[in-house]
Each structure stands twice: as C-alpha cells, then as structure tokens.
Structure 1
Amino acid sequence: MLHEILSALVEVATFQNLLIMIAGIWGGVIVGAIPGMTGTMAVTLALPFTFYMQPVPSILLLVALYKGSTYGGSVSAILIKTPGTASAACTALDGYPLAQQGKAGKALNMALYSSVIGDFVSNISLIFFAAPLALLALKVGPPEYFMLMLFALTTVAGVSGGSLLLGLISGGLGLLLATVGEDMYGSFRFAFTNDMQSGLAIAPVLIGLFALPELIKLIVLRAAHKDEAAKLGDQKVTRAEFMGSLRTILKGSAIGSIMGAIPGIGPSAAAFFSYGEAQRSSKNGKNFGKGELEGIAASESANNGACGATMIPLLALGVPGDVITGVMLGAFMIQGLTPGPLLFQTNIHEVYMLLIGMLVSSVLLFFAGKITMRMFSYVSHIPQTLLTPLVLLLCLFGIYSISSSMFDVAVLLGMGLVGFGMFLLNIPAAPFLIAFILGPMLEENLRRALAISRGDPSVLVSSPITWIFSVLILFVITITVRREIQKSKDRKAVAA
C-alpha cells in the first residue's frame, strides 16, 4: 500500500499535472467570480477538452475547477453583492457590508482561509471514508443498487427547489430522456432518427442544460444596473480575528463534509445550514448580516467543505453527491473509469493519484487566491457583450469536436432551450441531471434483480440493506410531503 501511495505521489507531482491543477484552480476562481458564471458551467465547459487527456489529469482539472469556482463565488458576493455561485449567497450577507466599511480585502482573506481549511478537511474525510464505504458496497447486488439509486433520486427530488412536484417533474423528464436509444436487450426506444439509436450523449445534454441557459439569462434578463465594485481597503485578518472564527470554521468544515456526503445536498444547503448554526451559537450572533467575519467563515468553510465530501458517494457508490459531481460521473465514464466499489479494486492506483491531487489542490487554492486578489475587482466587471459570444463559441466548438456530429450540436441547443424553460418555470435542474445519468443504471439493476428472482418484485426488499434504503426513502418522502403541507398552510395563513 505504501509503495502504491508513493508511486501515485511521484506521478501526481509532475510539472504537467501541477500546471493542470493550477490552471483549473485559477480558471475556477475567475469563472466563479463572474456573476452569472457558475462552477457547474465551468466544469461542463471544460468537459469536452478532457476527452483528449489521461484519466487522472482530466478528473483533477474538473475537481480543481470545482474548488476554485466555489471560492471564486465569494468574490463578487463580497465586492458587488452579486454571488458568483449559489453557495456564496450567505457570504454576501456579511461580505458586502464589510466591503462598504472599507474591509473588502479582509473579507476576501477570511473567505480564502475558511475555504482552504474547509476544503482540506473534506479531502481528509474523503480519504478516510470512501474506501470503507466501497468495501461495504462490494457486498451489495442489483436489488441493493436499485434501492440505493432510487433513494438518491428521491433525495434529490426532495431537496432541489421549493416544490416537491417540480422536483419530481424534473427527475421524471431526466429519466425519460435517459431511455432514448438502445436498451440492454437490444430494443430501441424513441429512436426517431439513426442518430438517436445510440441515445443522447452526456456532454451535450449537460452543457446544454447548464451552460446555455446562463447565457440566455445574461442576454434576456440583463440587470438594469450594476453596483460598483468596492475597493479592497483593509486586507489583513488579525490573529485574534482568525482565532475568534476558528471554531466556526472547523464546525462549518464538519457540517460541509457531512452534508456534502449525502447525495443531493451539495454546497449551497451546507452553507446555509452552517451560517444558521453559527449565528445561533456565536456570541457575535447579533452582528450577523451587518458585516461579521464569522458569518463569512461559516459560509465559506461549509460550501468548500462539501466539495471533497461530494466525491465520497461518487467514488464509493457511483452516486453523484451534487450537480457538479454528476458531471464528473460522466467524465469518469467517458474516461473508461466506473465509480463504485470496483474502482478501488481495478483502479486503486488512479484513486490514490486522485486523492493526493485533491490534497495538493487545496494548497494551490490558497496561493491562487492570494496572488489574484488584486485583480478580483476587475474580473467581476468583464463585459457581458464579450463574455456571452465567447462562451457560446466554446460550447459549440467543444461539443462538435467530440464526435464531429451536428446531431450533438442540435441536442446542445435544444437542451439549452429546455434548461431556460425550466428556469422560467422554476423547475430545478439538479433532479433532471441526476436522473438522466442514473437512469440507465437504475433500469439495468432493476432488470437484473427481476431476472435473478424470475420476475418476483419482492427481491427488491429481500435483504437488510434494501430494507434500510426503503425506510430512508419513505422517511425522505414523509419529511418532504410534511414540508410541502406546512408551506401550503403558511401561504394560506399569509393570504388570509
């Protein structure tokens, strides 16, 4: 084992891999700092270019983009009160008031320190918990996998957006598109053209669903005005300020690691939960929302703490922890790597390389944040007239370069319109993505389980693990339905 780790360390510590991670971190920070540009968009835009890279460097690039964009979202949140990413929304509550007080640099530094610590803690949790979880997963078969994936879909539908019905509609649409093409027995479904017989490729669906709607929003829903970016001003975080926030940072890192490991939760929910807990327990709770460094520490440590943790269910079980790891699941599969328990048997060397690379990227995030801090106020003001056509060209060129298929380009544009329509109707995109990727595996394991039992559906609840997932599914559905009923009562009370 030690020999494998040392060998992986040597391979990761090459100039090429370090350059790839630096580029990913820096690119992610810049993309995350631009309002309207999300980490999901950064990862999906980079996905086509990873096809020409080796498996581990390609995954390290996507992970670096993920980490960098999660921190980068705090930049515009602090400087112009426009969170670059959804997970930075909490950061804006205290970051922008600090910027107005002439302490934007101090706020950015606290965000950086909290992000790095949260990211490092989540990477450690990934190292310690992914492999044991994978070993446990070796004992499960098709019935257990089917119930696990059903649980993942149920969880995502329940936590994505404010409406259970809209979450279910989104997941249902994803499952429907996942059935396009040839099934495991050679039958064709929805194959209206020859191109559709092989199904819809992952890359154009992902990029069309997440990147193009953002571009359409930038064009159609332009803001009436833009706030002026604040000056960096006072930059240094004193030792007393850092130590006063250290407990909150560690607590936020733990919250992010735990919530990130639950499929469907992701950094945004972790950030809000951590912020609320910090406000409740802090002696400075009354200052939250008025320019409190501890509020930034709570938000940023949790959303970055969720980054590494979302890889735990992905690597160990093959279930994406959030939207971005759903994109990474596609990247793994494209590279010939199948996340799940067998990954730790057949590709353990690549797993070690990935884990070491993620630890290294935590250090690189610190230096990238420090070096680029001065240019942050300019990054947040890149003209949309330049940004929009450039990103559109990258989307079109990237998709066409994969297989030189105009059908894939058509899928890209079609999914862009679908994604924008979902945005207008307030239908969450996360359940769609997870359902589209997990759909084939859900169907395959269901068919295998029924084949084993000769069509007896009781096989789906024939073991303790299947019963556990059944209980969890019912629990999530119950909680979600109760939440919907309570919301309905609250709305009626307000209307009355």
Structure 2
Amino acid sequence: MDVLSQSLDVLLTTPAGLFAIIGVAWGILGGALPGLSPSITMALLLPFTYSLDPASAIVLLASTYIGAEYGGSIPAILIRTPGTNAAAATVIDGFEMNRQGKAGLALGISLYSGVLGSLVGLVMLVVLSEPLSSVALSFRPPSYFALGILGLSVIASLSGGSLVKGLIAGILGMMVATIGTDPVTGGNRFTFGTADLLGGIEPVLIMVGLFAVSELLVQTAQRGENLRVESRARIQFPGRKLAARLIPSQMIGSVIGTFEGVMPGAGGTVASFMSYNEARRWSRHKDEFGNGSPEGIAAPEAANNTVAATAIIPLLSFGIPGSNSTAILLGGFLIHGITVGPMIFIKSASTVYGLYGGMFIASVSLLFIGMAMMGPCIWLVNRPRAYLNAFILALIFSGVFSIHQSLFDLVIVREAGVVGFAMRLLKFPFLPTVLGLVLGYLVESNYRRSLVLSGGDHAIFLTDPISLGFLVVAAIFIVGSLIRPLITSWAGRRASAT
C-alpha cells in the first residue's frame, strides 16, 4: 500500500499522468511508422524532457516505450510491415487474418493482449523487481550464449515444412549480423572499405526491406490480388468464447515476456518469437497457426508488451540498460541528475513511484488511445492499392532516412527488399532470417567471451548451470521439431490402416 499511496501522491502533485497519455499516443504513432523503432521514438523526445520535472520526464519516456511496442503491430497486421522488431512475429497470423477480412478482430486481439501484457509486466516490475534482477545479474557469457542458442532453436519450428530452407535462411541472418566491428578484437569485418558498415547493419533496416519492400514488389507482380480490408471493418474485441481461448496464449506470452525482459540483451523480439512458438506447441488449434490464428497474435503481443515493463527492472536495480530503449530511458534519468542503481529507491524514491503510477495510467489509456487510432489505420488500407503502395513506399523511405539521415540506409532497405522478393519466389521463410539477425551478435560475442574466460575450454558451457539448462531445453525443442513430422506421419498411416 505504501507504493500505491506514494504513486498517487506523485501523480496528484505533478503532471506525470498527463505526460503518460501523451507518451502513449506518441509511442503508438512512432511504432506504427515503418523504420522508427521504440528507441528512436523515445530519443526524439529527449530534448523536450529537459524542462520537465524528473517524474514527468521519466513517465513520458517509459509510456512512449509502452505505446511503441504496441504500435508496431498496426502496420504488421494491415500492411505486413512490422513497425518494430518485436512485431515481426505478429505479421505471421495478423496479416493472414487481414487477408481473410478480419483485420478489425486481429487489431482488437492485438490491443487487448497488449494491454493485458503491459499490466502483467507492471505488476512484475513492482512486486518482483529485486528477486528477478538478482537472477539476471547472475548471468555470465556462457548463459547468454546458451540463451541465444535457445532462441535459434525455434528456427526448427518456423521453417515452413523445410528444415534445410529454414537453416539456410537463419544462417543468412547470422551472416548479416557479423558485418561491422568484431566484438572481441575490434577489427573490421566484411565492410568492403565502406565506413557506413563499420557499425554493422541495424535489424530494422533488414526487416523493413524483407517484409515491406518485398511485399510491395509481390503486389506489383500480382496485379489481380486485392489485399484491401472490407470497408465495414472496425475494431472488434474478441467475444467471451474467443477471449477464454486466448487466455493460455496470453499467459505464455506474459511469462516468457517477464523472463526475457529481465535479462539484458534478450528483449521483446526474442520473447515474441519464443511466445509464438510455445503458443503453437500447446495450442489445440495448431493447424491454424500461419493461416490466421488468433492465438498467434495474442501470444507475441502479450510478450512484447510485458517486456516493455520488465526490461526496466535491471535498469532500476543495477543501472544496466538491457536494450536500446532502456538506454534511452537511462539517458532521461541522467539528464535530471538521477543515478540509476540500488540507491535510487532511497535517494529518488518519488521518481520511481511516479514511474510506477505513470506506467499504470499508460497501460490503461493504451486501450482507449489505441481504439481511437484504429479507424484511420483501417481507412488507409481501403485506399486504392496504387496510391496506398506509393504512400507506403514513401513512408518507408522517409522513416528509414530519418533514423540516421543516411542514403546508404535506403540502399540497404532496397537490397533487402530484393532479397526478400527472391526468398518469396523460392519459398524461403523470413522468420529464421530475422532470428539469426537479431541473435547473431548475442551468440557470437558471448561464445567468444566464454572461450576467453575458459582459455578455450568448451566445457564452460556445460559447467555453468544456467547455460546447461538452456542448452538442454534447446535440444529438446530441436529433437521435438524433428520427430514431430515422423510422429504425425506414423499416426496418419495408422489411422488409414484402421
């Protein structure tokens, strides 16, 4: 009750509540714009926080993070363009529901699940902050390497029926992740003398090209295809029966989102894909996944919105920003002279309690602000395809250019679009490529750091208990994915024989 009373006191004595609503609205807009990540959306607000009181400034940035994580699902569902990295998993079934004329329901499930995930994440932040952050602090390089392997093990389940193509696509993503500066020696790799590649290639550029530009190319090649939503489409929340069916998937997403959010370096993208995979594993409607499954939207959306809250735990408790977005939030603290770490609960307790209260207002207002923005988004999809495609292309390139004001980024997006178009023609899945791209640095850097610590002894991955646990679970996932088709085939033959 002490936390509640102090949070209310901060909200009643400062304009933090108002800035929570402003942050959510801005975050949804930034997340929905292709090319803008949550961290960039937050960074654009940093100059405006100088004149605010500390509580209002931090609430504004954190609320923007919440809004942006949800906002990324809007273009993912409507135009097959994940507005954020974490929304890539939502594309799979969200866009399929759109094509079936169920865009309103898909958007409603996304919003509904996002609000629940955000509230669950906030509860975890308030109640389990110290225990969970102490667990995250115990992670060593072998643990992070094994975590990355666990994430990559999902490739076996996301290969669209061809494990070889899935592995090739995953390796392609990991190859792109090696471009830039070597994480151990500091040398340049695969830059071909181009200074623009020294910092590597940001995942958002590849994802926008793979998903958005390639989709525009496909639509151009298939003139007769109509991807528009029925003009009657409106935001539609799931009914009682469907809501009950979605509860297990939302619980899976929230649990994985809590676990992944508290570990620096994991983030919403890994949580979304793992949640999608586990929701399909435990679903009674496995055949619907990839063909417009409501559970395939609920799980990743609950996960990435949970991460938006739980990712703040290691930042507050230990001063460790585990993602780009929490690094921007750390910048907001530093602007106001607040040292983030264990002493923040003593020296700046009012700011922390104001953050809790502001995030609650942001999570609740997300439902209403999200509903208000749905209509214009659906209206855009109903415009003539030629106009819409031109608008989307202009939006993609303007959003990408705004990141670094670099024409080279536009070249990367264009080439990624061409590669994505070729992958579509050859029926290669995108998702393993995205996983390889996102997890490549995590796996490589911690693998090499582990070997430095052990003097080249690979046994370090088995002697570290956390690493061993992750590797065992990854092995179970891979073996299960390999034998599942055999079991299905055997069951089919047995059924036909009887």
Q: Secondary structure at the match of 1:153?
A: helix
Displacement of 1:475 after TM fit? 0.8
Deviation track 1:194-237 (CA, whole Å, cap 9, x = no partner) reads: 32551433143343233322332333334534677264799999
Gaps of 5+ in 2: 47-56, 81-89, 261-270, 288-292, 316-321, 332-339
**1:217 is aligned to 2:209:** no
Q: CA contact under 8 A between 1:125 and 1:309: conserved in structure 2?
A: no
CA pair 60-424 structure 1, distance change in 2 beyond 3 A: farther
Q: Secondary structure at the match of 2:417?
A: helix
Q: Give, in whole Å, the separation in 2 of the partners of 1:225 and 1:69.
A: 23
Alignment RMSD (CA, Å): 5.1
User: What's the counterpart of residue 44 of structure 2?
Assistant: 52
Q: Secondary structure at the match of 1:140?
A: coil
Q: Which moved more, 1:378-387 or 1:124-133?
A: 124-133
User: What's the counterpart of residue 263 of structure 2?
Assistant: none
In structure 2, which of residues 59, 66, 70 is the aligned counterpart of residue 67 of structure 1? 70
Deviation track 1:111-157 (CA, whole Å, cap 9, x = no partner) reads: 58954763455434653567643321211211222122222222345
Displacement of 1:374 after TM fit? 6.6
Q: What are the residue-to-residue correspondences of 1:213-252 with 2, within 5 Å?
A: 213-225=214-226, 229=230, 231=232, 242=240, 247-248=244-245, 250-251=247-248
Q: CA contact under 8 A between 2:160 and 2:429: conserved in structure 1?
A: yes
In structure 2, which of residues 240, 254, 257 is the aligned counterpart of residue 257 of structure 1? 254
**1:305 is aligned to 2:294:** no
Q: Give, in whole Å, the separation in 1 of the partners of 2:353 and 2:402.
A: 31
Instruction: Give the length in aligned residue pairs.
Output: 438
Displacement of 1:478 after TM fit? 0.6
CA pair 258-220 structure 1, distance change in 2 beyond 3 A: farther
* AA matched with 1:383: P
Q: Give, in whole Å, the separation in 1 of the partners of 2:249 and 2:438.
A: 30
Q: CA contact under 8 A between 1:118 and 1:250: conserved in structure 2?
A: no
User: What's the counterpart of residue 321 of structure 1?
Assistant: none
Q: CA contact under 8 A between 1:160 and 1:264: conserved in structure 2?
A: no
Q: CA contact under 8 A between 2:28 and 2:67: conserved in structure 1?
A: yes
CA pair 111-413 structure 1, distance change in 2 beyond 3 A: closer
% identical equivalent positions: 24
CA pair 375-313 structure 1, distance change in 2 beyond 3 A: closer
User: What's the counterpart of residue 418 of structure 2?
Assistant: 417
Displacement of 1:13 after TM fit? 2.5
TM-score (structure 2 length as normaliser): 0.67
Q: Which moved more, 1:212-221 or 1:472-481?
A: 212-221
CA pair 412-155 structure 1, distance change in 2 beyond 3 A: same
In structure 1, which of residues 102, 115, 118 is the aligned counterpart of residue 116 of structure 2? 118
Deviation track 1:312-340 (CA, whole Å, cap 9, x = no partner) reads: 8866799xxxxxxxxx9555568878xxx
Q: CA contact under 8 A between 1:259 and 1:306: conserved in structure 2?
A: yes
CA pair 474-4 structure 1, distance change in 2 beyond 3 A: farther
CA pair 250-8 structure 1, distance change in 2 beyond 3 A: farther
Displacement of 1:249 after TM fit? 5.8
Displacement of 1:272 after TM fit? 5.9
In structure 2, which of residues 284, 305, 314 is the aligned counterpart of residue 276 of structure 1? 284
CA pair 254-22 structure 1, distance change in 2 beyond 3 A: same
Q: Give, in whole Å, the separation in 2 of the partners of 1:434 and 1:8.
A: 41
Q: Give, in whole Å, the separation in 2 of the partners of 1:93 and 1:402.
A: 31
**1:365 is aligned to 2:371:** no
Q: Give, in whole Å, the separation in 2 of the partners of 1:468 and 1:391.
A: 44
Q: What are the residue-to-residue correspondences of 1:37-48 with 2, within 5 Å?
A: 42=34, 44=36
* AA matched with 1:21: V
Q: Give, in whole Å, the separation in 2 of the partners of 1:49 and 1:226.
A: 29
Q: Which moved more, 1:478-487 or 1:412-421?
A: 478-487
Q: CA contact under 8 A between 1:177 and 1:436: conserved in structure 2?
A: yes
Q: Give, in whole Å, the separation in 2 of the partners of 1:166 and 1:347.
A: 49
Gaps of 5+ in 1: 32-40, 78-83, 280-294, 319-327, 338-342
